[in-house]
Amino acid sequence: MGEGTALRPVLEADLSFLHHLISDPAATGEHQWYGFHDPHLYRRRWDENGLLGDDGGVLIVTAEDDRLGLVSWRKILTTRNAYYWNIGVLLAPEARGRGHGTRAQRLLAEYLFAHTTVNRVEATTEIGNLAEQRAAEKAGFTREGVLRGTGFRDGRWHDGVVYGLLRADLHREV
């Protein structure tokens, strides 16, 4: 499961794939459909920094050279001198259920711990998104709690679940 999963930077040729992933309700999955997106959103950010900024970024998830989806991260400031990363993952429908979402989140966390000084990587998801909750757990994240009424989607507020992986957790058996 999740064999050959890898992450790589976004190429210009990936931009329409990314837009389709986040903007087509058939691709987002029910828990990630937040309405249509500005079609130039990724293009603008890619022109600016290749979607690899100091406050966050996007990488393409691949397996055996196939393009499967994206992972992303954004900076969450906690105190005056500290921050952590909140990460996201979105695979194309045909790529799901084969372990790649689990592996991609693990690879992203390892990448962020290797290249930034953060002590914490967090993943949050809607309470009904059981696949993501299971994938986060399999990737080594600890379920930390329920965030009541945090996400607005499809006309109403939904509870969220928060998962965390600390630097010290990296060497725990998963």
Ligand X SMILES: CC(C)(COP(=O)(O)OP(=O)(O)OC[C@H]1O[C@@H](n2cnc3c(N)ncnc32)[C@H](O)[C@@H]1OP(=O)(O)O)[C@@H](O)C(=O)NCCC(=O)NCCS
Chain residues that interact with ligand X, rule: CB under 6 A: 29, 31-32, 69, 88-91, 96-102, 125, 129-132, 134-135
In the complex, minimum distance from the CB of residue 69 to ligand X, in angstroms, rounded to a whole number: 6
Least gap, CB of 68 to ligand X (angstroms): 8
Q: Which residues, including other chains, have CB under 8 Å from residue 113's CB and lie 6 or more apart?
A: 121, 167, 170
> 5 or 15: whose CB is closer to ligand X?
5
Distance CA 26, CA 54 (A): 31
Complex with ligand X: residue 56 or 99, whichever CB lies closer: 99
Q: Please, are residues 61 and 4 in contact by the beta-carbon 8 Å criterion?
A: no
* Comparison of 23 and 32: residue with beta carbon closer to ligand X: 32
Cβ proximity to ligand X: between 48 and 131 the closer is 131
Q: How far is the CB of 47 from ligand X (least distance, A)?
A: 26
What is the rounded distance in angstroms from the CA atom of residue 166 to the CA atom of residue 9?
24
Nearest approach, Cβ of residue 114 and ligand X (Å): 22
Residue written as tokens 């459909």?
Answer: 33
CA distances from 172 to 69, 114, 141, 169 (A): 27, 16, 10, 5
